Structure 1
């Protein structure tokens, strides 16, 4: 019989976390493949939080919803700053 007075520990192994950069790349490609303007659709999603701006093609919609919108904006701003050599 188990000792029920002790707390059991349960540890979940986390898999590799996908980065905002990778998510944006996949979502951009899926939107492009489906004939949408990726910039307009991603901006619509970020501004509204409405996931229907993102196609479900290639799992893009569920993928983009795994990341907070502010993290996506941060990634885009960092890329913009690096591209313009401001750092």
Structure 2
């Protein structure tokens, strides 16, 4: 019975991961669909607009970035500490 329970829990965890990825993709589509065209300037203006909901900004970030690593500081002028892992 324990093996069946463990297999079930693993399946549920995998399904939740697939669901989270799908929700992330749908969030990106929803945010991108609000733009009539996507230029760099459009994105910057949208991001800087104070009326843009924080949830939309978070959805955009979560949809395009998997995670960010911050490397140890090697020199005081080291600016390449952030390693972005894109989706």
TM-score by length of 2: 0.30
Query: How high is the TM-score relative to the length of structure 1?
Result: 0.30
